[in-house]
Chains A and B, each alone.
Chain A
């Protein structure tokens, strides 16, 4: 300590004489030991990952190394794997042994679906990542095989589910159109395809710009459609599509799909409600006629009941005996009129209900004819039962 305090060169001299903390002769052991530990640690990772790993010498295809998971999953003993050819274990999707040469011709790194021979399960479907690399003078191929049994099952389930959804969507008679945030179509169903052809007169393209579709159909002339499309909320509008002398009534319902607080897609349900609209209008007419009839009927009841009252009174004053004879007939007529009154009241209830529920229609009187033309041509075919 005394030396260290009085001598400015104490520490320097210690190092010069090899007595410093890190002064020792050249030895590879500490570095090698450190590297060995790093490698052993990495080996643990390799052995415990769920993938099967092989190191193959190229071009002879001999397995020179493998991870612990490989022999575990394949149900083999080390001597059954080491120094064997990889072609004895790995098969392509046609069941043929994988040729390393053929793989290398395709590139330095290839991802294939393959099957690997497994003692317990026969052949295990795998996704094999083949990577060729040079080490020293030798070329090696590192193969990482991932068991995709579950993935294939999931893919099948997803495929089935998708098929079911597709069938369901196709079975819906309303047009279904899914668009992205730019208004470009992602999927649509057959009903929409029919609508597209019907309203635009053109074959449907692979991708549709929904704003073009609205322009072609004339729906965009209404500001409502723009407000609906610009909105991030659900909503619906009803619009009319004019085709020469024919008019269709369309209901468009928009359901936005929100993902992680972002409006990424929208589902448009496009329903042809022309027939409903026409029927609504006809119902209104029927109701109107029914109103008129009821009024006339009430007047008629009064007009029957009042003379009958007068007749009964007069006969009773002038000829009481005759009055007794005809009274049953007068009562019978009164009962009939009374029943008609009750029936009228019940009809009034029906009328109110109809008025309440079917009182609104987008069609004007002068548009009914065009709508019926449309229904005749596109909606009812030859079985035309509606007369405008």
Chain B
């Protein structure tokens, strides 16, 4: 009796290069894909960063033309995707290089979907609805957290309806990820911390998912361990630590992209759509209540996570019900959060709860949560979180 999960599982990952200067391979890959002109997707802040010039130089040095699309904002909207797809088509691009955080990478995926399949991006919301593979997509992530550079997910916001919707398909896994720690050094503090939080939640949810496998477990648990080991105030200024977090984020991405996520993400997507708040931070806000809800469904795995946080479950013999609180305290300590505000503090009203519950129930991430909730369970959690 090995205890291994022998259920059918699949593992898909992109080709990736890690290390200092990895971003400079963007041009070579463009050439290898026989691209003539790439759409360079980024955002206005990244556009100002000096490290970007190395990416652009590598493109031009390889004789590849490029067109910049930098109108991407946080939580990219359907309009931004459609605008980018229009630029892609009208300027005759045949591939995409995306340099930026999760928002930029998700927008680039949306652009690729529309560019190759036509129609409106809202028509691809859901699972496995993409018929034709998108053009070659080369990612240069500037944050360590979203893992959009290795995952099968793209999150697109509809601002008029204040929703965040998921596009999920194995064909959304990018062709190449160039994991270079250098861009992380230019991140603002809040973005760097929240990104790392995103990575940690990815790792925990992926590891505890009911779709996990021995392969994803390895990546998930290693990710948790590496984040705990490397997370510190100002980690992004330290080349060693930032690289460690970047690899931890890669592991988390490989884990959750193949094992699925859980209720933390379903609730976080609902909250993010309604308030526009940062995804990593909204995930942190709901994590403790979801851990409490899930604990009994996968006790061994949650105990293993607690051990990684240095919570000695065996010696001190904590009650299971105590673990979520203890884990939450450890997270706040590691990430430097002084408090965990209630949802009311971030603008959520009691009247918003039914809408949040409905959105949470409709979010596909809920399908791989270790314990399947009903609407009443979720409502209770939201009300507790207010």
A45 at the interface (CB under 8 A from B): no
Chain B interface mostly = loop
Which of B170-178, B187-195, B270-278 binds A? B170-178
Q: Kindly report which residue of chain B lies nearest to residue A17, judged by CB atoms.
A: B211
1/0 per residue B256-270: CB within 8 Å of A? Answer: 001110000000000
Q: Kindly report which residue of chain A lies nearest to residue B365, judged by CB atoms.
A: A16
| A-chain residues with CB within 8 Å of residue B12 when the two chains form the complex | 18, 25
Which of A26-34, A164-172, A193-201 binds B? A26-34
Q: Kindly report which residue of chain B lies nearest to residue A21, judged by CB atoms.
A: B128
Size range of the chain A interface in the assembly: 20 to 34
Shortest beta-carbon distance, B149 to chain A, in Å?
13
Q: Which chain B residues in 319-353 approach chain A with CB under 8 Å? A: none
Q: Do B260 and A17 touch (CB < 8 A)?
A: yes
Q: Do B168 and A16 touch (CB < 8 A)?
A: yes
| B-chain residues with CB within 8 Å of residue A15 when the two chains form the complex | 127-128, 168
Most buried by B among A8, A18, A19: A18
Knowing A17-B260, A20-B128 are in contact, say whether A26-B171 is a contact too (CB < 8 A).
yes
Q: Do A18 and B170 touch (CB < 8 A)?
A: yes
Q: Do B368 and A23 touch (CB < 8 A)?
A: no
Q: Do B132 and A16 touch (CB < 8 A)?
A: no
How many residue pairs bridge A and B at CB < 8 Å? 66
B372 at the interface (CB under 8 A from A): yes
Q: Do A24 and B364 touch (CB < 8 A)?
A: no
Most buried by B among A13, A17, A24, A27: A17
Shortest beta-carbon distance, B130 to chain A, in Å?
9
Q: Do A16 and B367 touch (CB < 8 A)?
A: yes
Chain A interface mostly = loop
A12 at the interface (CB under 8 A from B): yes
Knowing A18-B10, A20-B127 are in contact, say whether A25-B171 is a contact too (CB < 8 A).
yes
| B-chain residues with CB within 8 Å of residue A16 when the two chains form the complex | 127, 168, 211, 260, 364, 367-368
Shortest beta-carbon distance, A12 to chain B, in Å?
4
Knowing A15-B127, A17-B9, A17-B259 are in contact, say whether A25-B168 is a contact too (CB < 8 A).
no
| A-chain residues with CB within 8 Å of residue B168 when the two chains form the complex | 15-16
| B-chain residues with CB within 8 Å of residue A24 when the two chains form the complex | 170-171
Question: CA–CA, A300 to B379, complex, Å?
Answer: 145
Q: Do A17 and B10 touch (CB < 8 A)?
A: yes
Q: Kindly report which residue of chain A lies nearest to residue B137, judged by CB atoms.
A: A26
| A-chain residues with CB within 8 Å of residue B211 when the two chains form the complex | 13, 16-17
B214 at the interface (CB under 8 A from A): no
Question: CA–CA, A314 to B52, complex, Å?
Answer: 160
Chain B residue total in the interface (Cβ 8 A): 28
| B-chain residues with CB within 8 Å of residue A18 when the two chains form the complex | 10, 12, 152, 170, 258
Residue from B132, B133, B175, B372 within 8 A of A9 (CB atoms) = B372
B8 at the interface (CB under 8 A from A): yes
Knowing A18-B258, A26-B134, A26-B175 are in contact, say whether A9-B367 is a contact too (CB < 8 A).
yes
Question: CA–CA, A13 to B211, complex, Å?
Answer: 8
Q: Which chain A residues in 1-58 approach chain B with CB under 8 Å? A: 7-9, 12-13, 15-28, 31
Q: Kindly report which residue of chain A lies nearest to residue B366, judged by CB atoms.
A: A9
Q: Do B133 and A23 touch (CB < 8 A)?
A: no
A107 at the interface (CB under 8 A from B): no
A136 at the interface (CB under 8 A from B): yes
Shortest beta-carbon distance, B140 to chain A, in Å?
18
1/0 per residue B193-223: CB within 8 Å of A? Answer: 0000000000000000011000000000000
Q: Kindly report which residue of chain B lies nearest to residue A22, judged by CB atoms.
A: B128
Q: Which chain B residues in 34-90 approach chain A with CB under 8 Å? A: 36
B232 at the interface (CB under 8 A from A): no
| A-chain residues with CB within 8 Å of residue B132 when the two chains form the complex | 31
Question: CA–CA, A31 to B136, complex, Å?
Answer: 14
Question: CA–CA, A24 to B172, complex, Å?
Answer: 10
Knowing A12-B367, A17-B10, A19-B8 are in contact, say whether A28-B133 is a contact too (CB < 8 A).
yes
B185 at the interface (CB under 8 A from A): no
| B-chain residues with CB within 8 Å of residue A19 when the two chains form the complex | 8, 10
1/0 per residue B366-378: CB within 8 Å of A? Answer: 1110001000000
B169 at the interface (CB under 8 A from A): yes
Residue from B9, B170, B372 within 8 A of A23 (CB atoms) = B170
Question: CA–CA, A12 to B173, complex, Å?
Answer: 18
| A-chain residues with CB within 8 Å of residue B366 when the two chains form the complex | 9
Shortest beta-carbon distance, A59 to chain B, in Å?
21
Question: CA–CA, A27 to B366, complex, Å?
Answer: 28
Provide 7 A-B residue pairs closer than 8 Å at the C-beta atoms, listed in order of the A residue: A9-B368, A12-B367, A16-B168, A16-B368, A17-B258, A25-B171, A27-B171
Other 16 A-B pairs with CB < 8 A, given A22-B128, A23-B170: A9-B368, A13-B367, A13-B368, A15-B168, A16-B127, A16-B260, A17-B10, A17-B258, A17-B260, A18-B152, A18-B170, A18-B258, A19-B8, A24-B171, A26-B134, A26-B170
Where the two chains meet, the residues of B that have a C-beta atom closer than 8 Å to any C-beta of A are 8-10, 12, 36, 127-128, 132-134, 152, 168-173, 175, 210-211, 258-260, 364, 366-368, 372
The 6 closest A-B pairs by CB, nearest first: A9-B367, A18-B10, A15-B127, A26-B171, A12-B367, A13-B367
